[in-house]
Amino acid sequence: MPVQTNQSLSVDCAVFGFDGETLKVLLIERAAHRSLDRLKLPGSMILENETLPEAAYRVLEEATGLLKRDLYLKQMEIFSDPNRVSGEELEWINRKHGINTVRVVTVGFYALLKLDRRTTDYTTKKGAQWVPIDAIQRLAMDHKEILSSALGYLCREMQQSPVAFELLPKKFTIRALQRLFEAVLGIEIDNRNFRKKMLSSGFLLATGEKEERVAHKPAEYYTFDRNAYRRALKAKLKMGFIDNWRY
Amino acid sequence: MPVQTNQSLSVDCAVFGFDGETLKVLLIERAAHRSLDRLKLPGSMILENETLPEAAYRVLEEATGLLKRDLYLKQMEIFSDPNRVSGEELEWINRKHGINTVRVVTVGFYALLKLDRRTTDYTTKKGAQWVPIDAIQRLAMDHKEILSSALGYLCREMQQSPVAFELLPKKFTIRALQRLFEAVLGIEIDNRNFRKKMLSSGFLLATGEKEERVAHKPAEYYTFDRNAYRRALKAKLKMGFIDNWRY
DNA sequence: ACAAAAGTGTTCCTCTTACACCCATGA
DNA sequence: TCATGGGTGTAAGAGGAACACTTTTGT
C-alpha cells in the first residue's frame, strides 16, 4: 500500500454549555440533503499553516462569537477509519470546499463555555442550536460517536480538575455547581457532603452577594479562586518534584 | 488560507519495556545525516486504507517482531505544528518515501510490552536499541517531546488501570511489580503497604512457584488474574449503570 | 401561614500511612 | 554463620458516606 497523501485533516468540536438545569451541546444545521442527517458538530478542515488547536478555536469563534480566552478547549481522540466519511458524505465535503480528497481523518475536541444570553443569541442567529444532551438522536457522519467520546472525557475530567467552573458564570451558587455535577455525571449528590468538600477545598470565595427575588431562602454567590487553585497545584507539583522528578 | 490537502499523517510510538530494574524505551537508529540527530522513535507515514492504530501496530511489528496480541497500544496526543518537521528533516522524509509533502502531522502512541530475550535479540538485530529512560538526551525532530508526553500518560494510566502487567512477564514477584511502579513513577513505596494493597485487590494469583538459585529467601511468583479484573470492572460498570447511565 | 429551596453537624466506617523485625536461602 | 532480600501486623489518622432539621425568603 502506498503512503496516503491525498487526504484531509479536520477538527470537530463537541461544545458543552450548562443552563443551570441541563447539559447542552451546540449543533449546527447544514443545508438540507435528502438522505443525510441535518445536525452536525461544528467543525472544519484544517487550513494551511494552522495547528489543530488553532483550527478548533477558529471553528469555535465562528460558531459562538467567543474568543480563545472565553473558551476551554481540549483535544481528545482521533477518528481515522478510512471509511468514516465516504459516499454522499464525502461528496458533500468535496463540493463544499472545492477539493478532491479521498479520506478525511478528524480530530475530536471538546469545548466548555459559559452559556449566557449573548452567546445563545449569537448561536441562534447563526442557525445553530443548543440541544439537551439527552435529547440527541442521530447526527451527521460519525458525530454521534465523537459526542459520546467527548461526554466520557468531560465526566472523567470534571472529577479530577476544576473544569466545572468553565461551564458556570463567574458568580454562582453552590447549588448550581452541584446541579452541574449531577447533570454531567448523571448521579445524585448529598448536598451536605458536597458543600463540605467544595468549601474545604479552599478554592471557593464567598462574594457576600445573595440571590434576589427568589421565593425561598436566597443562596449566596461564590466565585472560583483560580489563583488559590494554581498555588495549590504548584505546591503539589513542587512536592512531586522532590520525590518524583518526572511529573 | 486554503484548505491543506498536500499533507501527510504519521504515527510515532514510544515503546516501553521493563527489565526488572529500569524503564527502557525503544529507539531506532536512522542512516547518518550530518546535522540530524541519529536516534528516533519508531514511526511511519500512514498508508492508504489503514487506520492510525493499524499503522501503529504495523510499525511495532516491524520494530519488535511482536503482534497485536502481545502489545498494549494507546493513542495519546497529536503534534500538529505546521513546522514540526521542516527543512532538512522534511527533505529526509520526502526522499525516504518518494513523496512531496509540505507538512507532516503526527499522532503519538505509546506501547507497552514484555521485554524478554527474544524481543531484545530481535530489536538489536534490527539496529534498534533499548535505552534507559533517564539516559536519553536528544532525539530526532520533536520526538523528545513526544516521549515526554508518553511518559506522562504512562504515569497517569499506571495509577488507574492495571497496565503495569503489560510490562511484566506472565509470572512475576510482587517485588518486581513494586520496582516497576517505583521506576515509572520515580518514587519509593513502602513494601508492606504495597503488598497489602496488591493482594487485597484480588487480582493476583499465587502460583506456588518460587524463585530458585537466589542468595536469599526466594520470592513467590504471581500471575495477574485478568478475568477477575474484568469481572470486577463489569460489576463496577453495572453498578454505574444504575445511577450513572453515561459511563 | 405556608411553600420552597438553602444551609448546617455528627457519627461511623473505610482506607491510607507510618513503622521494625523475623525468615529462607546461597555462599 | 553471615549476607541478602522476602515477607509479615498494628495502631493512629484522614477522608468519605449516611442521615434530618432549621432558616430565610416570596406569596
pLDDT by residue for chain B (247 residues), tens digit each? Answer: 789 888 899 999 999 999 999 999 999 999 867 789 999 999 999 999 999 999 999 999 999 999 999 999 999 999 999 999 999 999 999 999 999 999 999 999 999 999 999 999 999 999 999 999 999 989 999 999 999 999 999 999 999 999 999 999 999 999 999 999 999 998 999 999 999 999 999 999 999 999 999 999 999 999 999 999 999 988 887 665 543 333 3
Closest listed residue to residue A7, CA positions, set B146, B75, B103: B103
pLDDT-derived band at A13, boundaries 50, 70, 90: very high
First vs last Cα of chain A: how many Å apart?
40
Q: Show residues, CB within 7 A, near nucleic chain D.
A: A 190-193, 197, 210, 212-218; B 173-175, 191-193, 195-196, 215-220
SS3 B3: strand
User: Domain B170-244 falls in which CATH fold?
Assistant: Arc Repressor Mutant, subunit A (1.10.10)
CA angle A178, A188, A132 (to 5 degrees): 75
CA distances from B144 to A35, A81, B103, B206 (A): 47, 28, 19, 39
Domain boundary assignment for chain A: 5-158, 170-244
SS3 B151: helix
pLDDT-derived band at A236, boundaries 50, 70, 90: confident
CA distances from A103 to A36, A40, B51, B174, B181 (A): 18, 18, 11, 48, 41
CA distances from A189 to A161, A177, A180, A216, B244 (A): 18, 11, 11, 21, 12
Label the pairing between strands A204-210 and A220-224. Answer: antiparallel
CB contact under 8 A, A4 and B9: yes
Q: Edge-to-edge, what's the strand order for the sheet holding A204-210?
A: A172-173, A220-224, A204-210
Distance from residue A216 (CA) to nucleotide D24 (C1'), in Å?
A: 6
Report how far residue B93's alpha carbon sits from residue B139's, in angstroms, rounded to the nearest whole number.
16
Identify the CATH homologous superfamily for domain B5-158.
Nucleoside Triphosphate Pyrophosphohydrolase (3.90.79.10)
Q: Are the beta carbons of A59 and A171 closer than 8 angstroms?
A: no
Report how far residue A90's alpha carbon sits from residue A106's, in angstroms, rounded to the nearest whole number.
13
**Residues near B13 by Cβ (< 8 Å), separated by ≥ 6?**
B41, B42, B43, B56, B59, B60, B63, B73, B108, B109, B110, B111
Establish if A182 touches chain B: CB-CB under 8 angstroms. Answer: no
pLDDT-derived band at A6, boundaries 50, 70, 90: confident
Q: Write the single-letter amino acid at A76.
A: M
Cell numbers for A177: 455547581
Report how far residue A187's alpha carbon sits from residue A181's, in angstroms, rounded to the nearest whole number.
8
Q: Are the beta carbons of A14 and A110 closer than 8 angstroms?
A: yes
Cell numbers for B112: 507497552
DSSP 8-state secondary structure symbol assigned to residue A126: T
How many angstroms away from the CA of B81 is the closest CA of chain A?
Answer: 5
CA distances from A2 to A222, B4, B49 (A): 58, 20, 9
Report how far residue A172's alpha carbon sits from residue A165's, in angstroms, rounded to the nearest whole number.
9
Q: What is the pLDDT of residue B240?
A: 55
Cell numbers for A150: 467527548
CA distances from A56 to A13, A156, B21 (A): 7, 21, 43
SS3 A97: helix
Residue with smallest Cα–C1' gap to D9: B192
Who among B51, B97, B99 is closest to A81 (CB)?
Answer: B51
DSSP 8-state secondary structure symbol assigned to residue B169: -
Nearest CA in chain B to A147: B246
